Structure 1
Amino acid sequence: MNTKVLIVLALIIAGIAGWFFQQQGKIEPPINIEASEVDYEATDIKAVQTNEQGETEYELNAESLTHNPQTNEDVMSGITMNWQPSDEQRYIIQSGTATINQASGDLHLYGGFSLLSEDKVSSDIEPIKVTGAALKGNTKSRQVYSDEPVKVEQGLNRFEAASMKANLETGEYEFGQVAVSFTPAERQDKALF
């Protein structure tokens, strides 16, 4: 073969490759790389928070945790929190998803929650269980509230309320627009003498 033919053939192949690259090399739309809103992530979380005296205030277990540095919030999923804000009260809180701001103590549980209150002093008092869709509160002030309907159970007693406020340190609850179903015992006529 002639060298001139090989050079012309190589130039034609290079031209076709260049044209193909120009047609196929464009990315529509262009990739836009932005800074992430997450600075760290973790799974299978087990954390302990202590108070100023070094006593355990709450223990937290979560399936996953993501920290957002812009809002300084931790977003957790699958949480179980064992909270002991005082010597008299203990709470077990479970939720599908929660956000907590470590600096301010603001807490928001959503995706369903369960709040179980146990009296550590007297075992005669039945635990109170409150369930609902969302719960907000503050770990520093030890106050929680829900503006959405909640269901409350204590032993055989059950009722629903449109809202709830609670002071977890003292164990005091306040419910708004309570709806109760009352079924009295069957009447039995008996002689008194």
Structure 2
Amino acid sequence: MDTKVLYVTAIAIAAVSGGYYYYSGKGKKLEADSARSMNYSAENIHLTQTDEQGKLYIRAQVDRLEQDLQQKTSKLDNLQASVYKDGKVDATFLAKVANGYNDNEKVVLKQKVEATKLLDSGKMVFYTDELTAFPKTREIQTDKQVIVESPQAQFVSQGLKANLNDGQYEFFNIRGKYEP
């Protein structure tokens, strides 16, 4: 057999197998790309999270979670969360719907939102339709109407900005009663 025919046959076999390998690999790559953009969901979730020192930071319960890993967003139904400080419950949050953005750096609570801050003299409860929380900085804010109930006061505010770390609260257009 002539070596020229042998070389041509080898090149033809290499071209066919190389083409098959190239195109079959590209198909697998497309499958992997589409799998990466999948949304995940789960039901009846119980979450316990600790901080960098290993202390309890948050406990939450959610009826349903939908998460988009590519967009780094999440949607939670019927959120019940407790935030801890020095091993004790410091604040609680309830909402029918919560949307998390950028791996939950920002969480928007919606529909029958109730946020409670535990104080030495009792508790301060905020009722609103929408509340934006920043878990890492422990700040909350809204431009919606907020009903505030505390041991000393009951009032309505058209908006709120609060830092749960140092207890600084800013209310807007307040109407209500205060009893020192």
Q: Could you tell me the TM-score, scaled by structure 1's length?
A: 0.68
> How far, CA to CA, are the matches of 1:149 and 1:39 in structure 2?
34
> How far, CA to CA, are the matches of 1:47 and 1:133 in structure 2?
24
Identity, % of aligned positions: 19
Q: CA deviation at 1:112?
A: 2.2
Of 166, 171, 174 in structure 1, the residue corresponding to residue 167 of structure 2 is 171
> How far, CA to CA, are the matches of 1:65 and 1:56 in structure 2?
22
Q: CA deviation at 1:162?
A: 0.3
Query: SS state of the match for residue 158, structure 2?
Result: strand
- Where do 5+ consecutive residues of structure 2 fail to align? 1-33
Alpha-carbon contact 1:96-1:112 (below 8 Å) kept: yes
Equivalent residue, structure 2, for 1:109? 109
Q: CA deviation at 1:89?
A: 6.7
Of 112, 132, 141 in structure 1, the residue corresponding to residue 128 of structure 2 is 132
Q: Which structure has the larger Rg over C-alpha atoms?
A: 1
Query: SS state of the match for residue 173, structure 2?
Result: strand
Question: 1 or 2, which has the higher strand percentage?
Answer: 2
Is 1:56 matched up with 2:95? Answer: no
Equivalent residue, structure 2, for 1:96? 96
Equivalent residue, structure 1, for 2:66? 66
Using a 3 Å threshold, how does the CA distance of structure 1 residues 182 and 104 change in structure 2: closer, same or farther? closer
What is the aligned length? 145
Using a 3 Å threshold, how does the CA distance of structure 1 residues 129 and 66 change in structure 2: closer, same or farther? same
Letter in 1 for 2:129: A
Equivalent residue, structure 1, for 2:153? 157
Q: Could you tell me the TM-score, scaled by structure 2's length?
A: 0.72
Using a 3 Å threshold, how does the CA distance of structure 1 residues 142 and 157 change in structure 2: closer, same or farther? same
